[in-house]
Amino acid sequence: MTSSKLLSLIFLHLAFLVFVLDHANAEGLKIGFYQQTCPSAEAIIKNTTAQYISRAPSLAPALLRMHFHDCFVNGCDGSVLINSTKNNVAEKDSAPDLSLRGFQVIDGVKTAVEKECPGVVSCADILALVARDAVSMIKGPFWPVPTGRRDGRVSTAQNALNNIPSPFFNITQLQASFASKGLSVKDLAVLSGAHTIGISHCFPAVTIRLYNFTGKGDTDPTIDPNYAAVLKKICKPGDLTKLVEMDPGSRKTFDTHYYSIVSKRRGLFHSDGALLSDSVTKAYVLSQISNGSTFLKDFGPAMVKMGKIGVLTGKSGEIRKRCAFIN
């Protein structure tokens, strides 16, 4: 058996185990979960989110990213929202989460929902709905969000470090990370497309790639040299403050342009360029820059699937009164 076939079998086995472990809980989710207990919940969430996005559209990609980071650590249980205490460093204070923003949106939405229906709607569901509504409000796709999640009580920085895919990851590491959450190689290609909106700081995932990729003062050989030259004018060694577009020229529009730049080896992160290193992900990238693009149709189902990772339902977890604090 070849190493690639063995790796594929390992991925499938991981995905099956995650499916078996999570399936029962995920079955507790349904569209309109709060129809009887808080019928106005989704309207309140949408309207309150709109108040923030209308003033700051750049919060949309930030909230989408926050939902992704939440789901990849302990499942979609709102644990990314919990504050650190003197006895515990929480997820939001881990290195991968330090650049997350938009927590005030979740707090504002939670406050509005609590006024109408105290102790009914979970922070985990609010985050999933806010991410969807925020993307839709900047003319991105809309997808149905099954609800019924409950909030987790565990949030540690180490869990975030162990589970959030790194922008340094190669394709094998990315596939393993997604497989461990029950997500397919296609899901990896589709969800990576979220980088079609938003910006990044010139943090180490960018500057190391430009100036010291293997520790020898070199540039990542998988990046287009012309694009690297452009980035070097923006991001100087050690720069942590300058902002750079993840999808140059189209960062405010939820479209297929991201796949176009990846195909030209102009993805901002090494993990973007890694999509060209696998036959399935490369084929998906190339198919999105033709007239037969399916990304806008594919994105919603992939988000629904991601939103079911490791959910707590029924009597598991809790409904937090304030999203940043365990009851």
**Binding site membership for Ca(2+): which residues?**
70, 73, 75, 77, 79, 91, 196, 247, 255
Q: Which of 219, 211, 186 is nearest to 285 (CA)?
A: 186
Q: Is 67 known to be catalytic? A: no
**Distance of alpha carbon 185 from alpha carbon 149, whole angstroms:** 25
What is the identity of the amino acid at 82? I
The answer to whether 135 and 141 are in contact (CB under 8 A) is yes
| Run of H or E including 152 | none
Tokens representing residue 274 in the block: 């890694």
**Distance of alpha carbon 164 from alpha carbon 181, whole angstroms:** 11
The answer to whether 53 and 60 are in contact (CB under 8 A) is yes
**CA-only gyration radius of the chain, Å:** 20
Residues annotated within a binding site: 70, 73, 75, 77, 79, 91, 165, 195-196, 247, 255
Which position has the token pair 């297929």? Answer: 256
What is the identity of the amino acid at 51? Q
Burial class (CB in 10 A: 0-12, 13-18, 19+), 114: middle
**Distance of alpha carbon 234 from alpha carbon 244, whole angstroms:** 7
| Run of H or E including 205 | helix 204-211
**Distance of alpha carbon 182 from alpha carbon 19, whole angstroms:** 6
Which residue of the set 13, 67, 69, 257 is catalytic? Answer: 69
Residues annotated within a binding site for substrate: 165
Question: Which residues are designated catalytic?
Answer: 69
